Amino acid sequence: MPRRSAAEALDTRARILDRAVEIAATDGLEGVTIGRLATDLGMSKAGVHGHFGSKEALQLAAFDVAVEQFRERVPARAAQAAGPGLGRLLHLCDAWVDYLEREGIAGGGCFLTAAALEFDNRPGPVRDAVADAADRWLAHLARLAAEAVEAGDLPSETDPAQIAFELNGIAMAANQAIQLQRDPAAPDRARRAMHRTVGAP
């Protein structure tokens, strides 16, 4: 029985987090509340609270799930598609834009971009987690660009940090164009801009 209870608790926690990510995708992390989740999932507030202890802990856990989903859909996909070098960087760019396009209007857009805008000026653990995730992502982009330089695919004078900065800026612009402006051409424009940034035809 204890094993079954532990498994049930994990299942319930996963169900809560799945719903929390769905809510945050459209309403932001501030829309993730214990009361709303209790109502949506037919649970008591105490039942939801017992899994996380606070709204902030719930938001942090939901953010962690969203980060892992992004990792699986973008960098992990690129790593499987090509070895180190320009090919992997281009695959990542395409996977990134695919992610932005797929999340689209119905999915609420890029969860991580929305969280960055929502918490950029709100001190606290959630902002710290969002900032850390953004820093790690920029470092990953710069690392891929550096690998492309080492492979001889990009000029030796290439600044990997600048490549990372520009690719991130393009993705943020694409997310806005898809979400706010409902521009159907935005994904293709973003792909072309990213490929041009890394010197690909």
Give whole-number Cα distances, 70 to 45, 58, 113, 172, 183, in Å.
29, 19, 11, 15, 23
- Residue 184, domain member (yes or no): yes
Q: Please write the tens of the pLDDT for every residue from 30-44.
A: 888 999 999 999 999
DSSP character at residue 53:
S
Residues 112-135 have pLDDT tens digits of 888 888 898 999 999 999 999 999
Q: Give the CATH number for residue 36.
A: 1.10.10.60
- Confirm whether 165 is domain-assigned: yes
Residues in the chain: 201
Which tokens belong to 29? 């992390």
CA–centroid distance for 113 within its chain: 7
Pair (38, 82) in one structural domain: no
Residues 78 and 50 in one domain: no
Give yes or no: residues 87 and 131 share one domain.
yes
How close are the terminal C-alpha atoms of the chain, in Å?
61
pTM (whole model) above 0.75: yes
In a domain, 81, yes or no: yes
Question: Which range marks the domain in which residue 167 is found?
Answer: 74-197
Do 37 and 87 lie in a common domain? Answer: no
On whether both 176 and 78 belong to a single domain, the answer is: yes
**Band of the pLDDT at 109, cuts 50, 70, 90?**
confident
